[in-house]
Structure 1
Amino acid sequence: MISVVIPALNEQDTVADVVALALRSSAEEVIVIDADSTDATAQRASQAGARVVNWRDAHPLPPKKGKGESLWRGVQVARGDVVVFLDADLSQVHPEIVEILTQPFADPKVQLVKANYSRPMADGSEGGRVTALLARPLLKLCVPELAHVRQPLGGEYAIRRETALRLAFISDYGVEVGLLIDVARAFGPEAIAEVEAGVRTHRNRSVKELEHTAEQVAATILGRVGYPGIALEQREPVEGEAPDQSTDFRPDAAGFGKDKGAACSQ
């Protein structure tokens, strides 16, 4: 069973189209986690056919601020064996994105699937500024085993629900890269698949907003490799034990992240 989870906060202009796209897929359920939107996001998502869950109703604990909190709560209410995450602000994405993201799970070793796509901006330049200028260079330095991942911060990806329940979820915008590192640490980099998904466009954010995102992403990467003095706000695993969060990755991962991670933590 496939569940699509769409975290949403004040995305009334685009959420209905994202829901409609998900409903045209093979997913058995489409869930919008509404983070107390003050506009018509919840109503439009419901009218489009989604199951809308206010994030306060998804779990008895009071919600923490951040996108990762919505994703974590979405995993709690989802029923599928595979959970597909889609951002609510998409204005263009591959029409078969759900199928593209779920096909690699035919391989039982695959735990996480990331979409790779072009991200053109209105002026013709390529988007993904935080990815290009911070996330990928920092991964290359600190976790070189993941340097090949083209969209480490992309909001379109899929994960086995059983795996998601065993992982910690960073509460803010570091959630995507945190899951990426944690899956690789727990299962090896080979457990992460990338799929081509064409072109993706969404609402562009201001430099001020991106500065906040960049800070969260940098803190997550550095925190995951043991850089001292970084406290990460996160939800702990629901089932089982979390992967080791020290600089020593699992023994059978061929020293994954140890050399560069140690260098980043000095």
Structure 2
Amino acid sequence: MIPDIAICHHGEFADLGELVRLKHAQGLTVSLCVPVLNEEDTIGEVIRCLKASLHDDTPLLDEVAVVDSGSSDRTREVAAAAGAEVYLASEILPECGPARGKGENIWKATARLKGDIICFVDGDVRNMHPRFVYGPLGILLTRSGVVYAKGFYDRPHAAVELGLRPAGGGRVTEALVRPLFSLFYPALAGFVQPLAGEYAARRSVLERIPMPTGYGIETALLLDIYRIHGTEGLAQCDLDERIHRHQDTASLGRMSFSILQAFLRRTQADGVLAAPGVLPEIYRSFVREDGVMRLNETRIEDFERPPLLEVPGYVR
């Protein structure tokens, strides 16, 4: 029998005035980060929705920010026009050298933003609603022992288009992450959607753990926080329905490669599963060109950023 991971519903935290009262009573500040890369079609509405409801009308959020990996479209301009503070990841802690990826954005956001609690949402959500923030955040404001709260949701469009269970995880979750957790970290198999991009975490936890620069970030956060705090420090929140774009199969293969790198580094550190000292960086797949099947090799240069408390620029 695996230990239960607490599950709440966003409706439990819909009284925003009460959440503001709890925030002030505990002397906390709260930041929101939207990590992005080429999200000009959706980022404007995401920011307008969350900033109006949770910052301007009700002072639950103390800052609303976008951290960008280096978009080639108008993502940064659209986000700024909608009212977000916009940061280019490469300009935060530049002495640490360059990197691109979702994990890099999370690491840089933790370094730059001021909140005692940092909330994250993805920038490609097409039905953005304040519940995507106040649901996970509400758990942290009402349960002092929880340090990391993650959202889950129904995906009706994915169910129709991709043949998935509406409330299940995405393709990478069901084909890769859930089997890995079931085999090696069964307590974490209790997360409905371990790769969901909507979550809230206490800064005191985020600054203590290493972070992969790429798509392994969500898996790494779960494993590292579980190691420190156990299931008692983790929770999840039902956010009802989420609509977002879906990536093609080739992209999911590269994502899975990054997730496996992060997973294997942590199983080795935990003594759960042996892994090579240096993991390969080449992801191999096949494409058909001019009627011929050809091997395609892609270098995926994800690496681990150290805990921020070990970074002199952050400590200063």
TM-score under structure 1 length normalisation: 0.86
- 1:92 deviates by 2.1
Separation in 1 of the partners of 2:98 and 2:35? 13
- 1:94 deviates by 4.1
Determine which structure has the larger helix proportion and give its number. 2
Separation in 2 of the partners of 1:221 and 1:139? 10
Instruction: Choose the corresponding residue for 2:210, options 168, 173, 182.
Output: 168
Structure 1 gap segments, 5+ residues each: 242-266
- Which residue matches 1:79? 114
- 1:162 deviates by 1.5
- Which residue matches 1:179? 221
- 1:186 deviates by 0.6
- 1:120 deviates by 2.8
- Which residue matches 2:249? 207
Two-structure CA RMSD over aligned residues (Å): 1.7
Instruction: Choose the corresponding residue for 1:92, options 127, 130, 149.
Output: 127
2:121/2:132 contact within 8 Å kept = no
Separation in 2 of the partners of 1:21 and 1:169? 29
Structure 2 gap segments, 5+ residues each: 1-28, 55-59, 269-273, 280-301, 312-316
2:178/2:189 contact within 8 Å kept = yes
- Which residue matches 1:247? none
- 1:238 deviates by 1.3
Separation in 2 of the partners of 1:96 and 1:178? 25
- Which residue matches 1:238? 308
- Which residue matches 1:41? 75
Where 1:87 maps in the other structure, the secondary structure is coil
Separation in 2 of the partners of 1:31 and 1:62? 22
Instruction: Choose the corresponding residue for 1:117, options 150, 153, 164.
Output: 153
**Which structure would you say has the larger Rg?**
2
1:94/1:197 contact within 8 Å kept = no
Distance of aligned partners of 1:93 and 1:138 in 2 relative to their CA distance in 1, 3 Å threshold: farther
- Which residue matches 1:52? 86
* Number of residue equivalences: 241
1:115/1:197 contact within 8 Å kept = yes
2:49/2:129 contact within 8 Å kept = no
Separation in 1 of the partners of 2:128 and 2:240? 7
CA deviation profile, 1:69-123 (whole Å, cap 9, x unmatched): 0110011111111000111111124432211111111222111000011123363
Distance of aligned partners of 1:93 and 1:198 in 2 relative to their CA distance in 1, 3 Å threshold: farther
Separation in 2 of the partners of 1:70 and 1:240? 18
